[in-house]
Structure 1
């Protein structure tokens, strides 16, 4: 995995942005110094398929491309913060061969602390130890699609980019306080703009 370049901002996956609609064709804002951390809730994108015996799972639309694009940014660090036990989370990643896209060494799991809101700080400390950068709400972004994801970010110490994947309605995510709302992960440029926008407002 690429390490953040000194002086550039990276992602272990904070800032409240106005609840506005992101326009895909808007240019990305200039990058600002200071790393940013980004957590993509991989386990949240596992969806059961309507086929019997046995049940199968699939990735949410756009999830794989989103993971790749964030992973390929040398100024971002991608990890996982989840209420799953670490072993279960690693198994879910392995099912879709996603382990190479996230740095699980700096992630946080239920096996670290059963209090989910404490997991953001766990990941921030691990990322700091590995990359030598202090991670706070100003450079930490949670990406998720549930009310629990929004709460984890806002109360745990990160900004939140919420994705209306169908699990939770857009209005519900907005009312919960998500900083930025995306309708899907299919537009990679929109995702990167969302990450940059919340970090910029925190600086």
Structure 2
């Protein structure tokens, strides 16, 4: 059975340098007319979940999330060149993606809280888009619960390729780990974000790596 390796983006593959957050705040203010006053915790959460919290926290009830996301995507598109300037790839990422890309028993995709368009902007800014079958990914518009994103990705991969996959999820937060476990996936934690390695281990990650700079260790964990 081939492996479906589902990559988180932010602080797993790359740091976005605050570009998307800037667009998020601007879009919210433009669409709602309400001044931004409270920034939620973004790490490991879906954009749908974050959006619901932001609207509730700011007391906004008369504006649809669809209008917000449409403007948010437009604004990120306008400044997407800033990802490569303000952000950076995490250690070892490119080498690991290239090695797995050469393995016929691995399909790589994205399972991320980002909406699909913004996910695409981020990975394209660093020349990574060709590493992933984005069509079978799971995204922040699929559901507010991250575990559902993993399930949707598995369903899409099975439908496209006509075969079952052994699922592997890699991410930097407890949310990534618990979403993997909820779907019977191998959970690989990488301690390149705000969550310490010990917390990823305590959450049930099967393997926790300090980063992806050890190519052989990373590939062994992800590809088996």
Asked if TM exceeds 0.5, the reply is yes
Q: Give 1:57 shift.
A: 0.5
Unmatched tracts of structure 2, length 5 or more: 19-81
Deviation at 1:92, TM superposition (A): 0.5
**Equivalent residues of 2:174, 2:203 under 8 A apart:** yes
More helix by share: 2
What residue is the counterpart of 1:96 in the other structure?
126
Partner of 1:63: 93
The CA deviation at 1:166 is 4.7
Q: Does residue 47 in structure 1 map to residue 74 in structure 2?
A: no
Q: Deviations over 1:11-36 (max 9, x none)?
A: xxxxxxxxxxxxxxxxxxxxxxx111
Aligned CA distance change for structure 1 residues 84 and 49 (closer, same or farther; 3 Å) = closer
Tell me if the contact between 1:120 and 1:157 (Cα under 8 Å) persists in the aligned partners.
no
The question of whether the paired residues in 2 share the 8 Å contact of 1:162 and 1:178 is answered with yes
Q: Is 1:189 the counterpart of 2:195 in the alignment?
A: no
Counterpart position of 1:168? 195
**Normalized against structure 1, the TM-score is what?**
0.72
Distance 1:40 1:82 in 2: 7
The CA RMSD measured in Å over matched residues stands at 2.0
Alignment of 1:76-91 (within 5 A): 76-91=106-121
Deviation per residue, 1:149-197 (Å, 9 max, x gap): 1111112331101112252111111111101111220112111221344
SS in 1 for 2:10: helix
Residue 119 of structure 1: which of 129, 149, 164 is its match?
A: 149
Mind listing any 5+ residue stretches in structure 1 that lack a counterpart? 1-33, 198-203
Matched residues in 2 for 1:149 and 1:126: separation? 19
Moved segments of 4+, more than 3 Å: none
CA positional deviation for 1:108: 1.0
Q: Deviations over 1:22-69 (max 9, x none)?
A: xxxxxxxxxxxx11111122333322669xxx8710011111111111
Larger radius of gyration: 2
Aligned partner of residue 108 in structure 2, secondary structure: strand
Q: How many residues align?
A: 158
* Distance in 2 of aligned mates of 1:166 and 1:81: 16
TM-score norm. by structure 2 comes to 0.65
Query: Which residue is 1:151 aligned to?
Result: 178
